[in-house]
Amino acid sequence: MSLGDKTIEELEEIEEELNEQEEEHGFSNYSMKIDLYKEMYRKLSQLVRQHNEDVQSSLDYVKRKLIYCLIHYGTYLKTEYQKDDYLARSCLEEALKYDKGNPLAAYRLGFLSYKFNDYIKAIQYFQQALDHDQYHKQHLYQLNEQQQLNAHLYLTNCALQIAKETYEKNETFTVCKNTRYSEAGVITTF
């Protein structure tokens, strides 16, 4: 039986089992918890849309737990387990889908974008992290002073990288623009 076939109560029992396993073994099964919380979020969202306001607090709780797992699993994948940057990126992007103003997820996505030389995206993520850090209500996801400093430094470095690439492209363009080919195939520059 898949998670989609289970009731909210059955999903809550699975959550309790996962929490007990976590306490026993000392580590969290983030991928299972993410799947579980996504399904709980889906089911609770349907109830809220059907005007069952009694479950709104449960939906908020599940959303917080889902975001927590996505951020921590994404960080774990990025730094510990096989360093799977693509899955880490996917988890962190998903965290931003549930919480668009999450500065920590944006900050970590900024580093992943920088690592892949996607400086424009890195700038967007670092700026988003800094902007939302001032306004984010959940202390757990605020940037610490070192992260704020790093975000500013990498933001500046990304801008310099883009400027350097633009300058190099312009230099190449200028050389090509000022080059003529004669009938004999001789290249002349003026």
Annotate the chain with three-state secondary structure.
CCHHHCCHHHHHHHHHHHHHHHHHHCCCCHHHHHHHHHHHHHHHHHHHHCCCHHHHHHHHHHHHHHHHHHHHHHHHHHHCCCCCHHHHHHHHHHHHHHCCCCHHHHHHHHHHHHHCCCHHHHHHHHHHHHHHHCCCCCHHHCCCHHHHHHHHHHHHHHHHHHHHHHHHHHHHHHHHHCEEECCCCCEEEC
Instruction: Categorize the per-residue pLDDT at 186 as very low, low, confident or very high, splitting at 50, 70 and 90.
Output: very low
Tally of domains within the chain: 2
CATH number at residue 162: 1.20.58
Helix axes 103-115, 56-79, angle to 10 degrees: 30
Contacts for 1-7: CB closer than 8 Å, 24+ residues apart: 3/35, 3/36, 3/39, 4/39, 6/39
Quick one: 86 and 136 in the same domain? no
pLDDT in tens, 14-48: 999 999 998 888 878 898 999 999 999 999 999 89
Quick one: 32 and 117 in the same domain? no
Tokens read off for 39: 């399904």
Domain end, chosen from 80, 99, 118, is at 99
pLDDT in tens, 86-145: 888 999 999 999 999 999 999 999 999 999 999 999 999 999 999 999 887 666 789 999
Instruction: Categorize the per-residue pLDDT at 187 as very low, low, confident or very high, splitting at 50, 70 and 90.
Output: very low
Round the CA-based radius of gyration of the chain to a whole number and report it: 24
The amino acid sitting at 107 is Y
Quick one: 154 and 176 in the same domain? yes
Residue 180: pLDDT over 60: no
Q: How far, in Å, CA of 10 to CA of 16, rounded? A: 10
Domain end, chosen from 99, 120, 135, is at 99
Quick one: 1 and 85 in the same domain? yes
Is 8 in contact with 43 (CB distance < 8 Å)?
yes
pLDDT at 190: 44
Instruction: Among 2-16, 87-101, 145-159, 165-179, name the one with the lowest average pLDDT.
Output: 165-179
Quick one: 92 and 110 in the same domain? no
Instruction: Categorize the per-residue pLDDT at 80 as very low, low, confident or very high, splitting at 50, 70 and 90.
Output: low
- Whether the pTM exceeds 0.85: the reply is no
Across all residues in the chain, what is the average pLDDT? Answer: 86
pLDDT at 177: 57
Quick one: 16 and 70 in the same domain? yes
**Domain boundaries, position 49:** 1-99
pLDDT at 41: 95
